[in-house]
Amino acid sequence: MDFNSSLRIAATGLHAQTARMRVIAENIANADSAGKAPGDEPYRRRIPTFQANYDAEVGGRIVEVGRLAYDMSDFSSRYEPGHPAADESGFVQYPNVNTLVETVDMRQAQRSYEANLNVVTVTRQMLGRTLDILRG
């Protein structure tokens, strides 16, 4: 595998983790987004999907961002009779976003991003050293 292949594979990992962090940030931002009227469905948690595909040009597997899936788990309900979205019993449905889970997912995505960034950095250093050897 050559330097360009290493850089392209790491770049696809960076792109995938960036997309993952964007979706997680959206989930966290909407963690308390209830509906505006009774019966309105609140924000539903999104989950990014990924696919590993073989790229003949690179000579290895690359990661590609797939479609966004929706978490079909139940919404949480809170008793808030004064809320505009409260049903006849006074309960309001809130998103199925658990900020603790999202925070852990964000940390995992950050670590994966850093690992791919380290691959890019080391590959560039190796390329630089190779050029130095060839010059000397």
Whether residue 25 is contained in a domain is answered as: yes
Whether residue 79 is contained in a domain is answered as: no
Please say whether the beta carbons of 30 and 39 come within 8 A: no
Q: State phi, psi for 94 to the nearest 5 degrees.
A: -115, 160
Whether residue 111 is contained in a domain is answered as: yes
pTM value? Answer: 0.87
pLDDT (tens digit, 9 = 90+) per residue, 107-127? Answer: 999 999 999 999 999 999 998
Assigned token pair, 125: 């250093």
Whether residue 78 is contained in a domain is answered as: no
What is the sign, positive or negative, of the torsion defined by CA atoms of 27, 29, 34, 37?
negative
d(CA 65, CA 17): 9
Whether residue 86 is contained in a domain is answered as: no
Nearest to 108 by CA among 10, 24, 11, 6: 24
Q: How many domains does the chain have?
A: 1
pLDDT (tens digit, 9 = 90+) per residue, 9-31? Answer: 999 999 999 999 999 999 999 99
DSSP letter at 62? Answer: E
Whether residue 39 is contained in a domain is answered as: no
Q: Which of 10-19, 51-60, 72-81 has the lowest mean pLDDT?
A: 51-60
Q: Domain range holding 121? A: 3-33+46-71+98-135
User: How many percent of the chain have pLDDT more than 90?
Assistant: 82
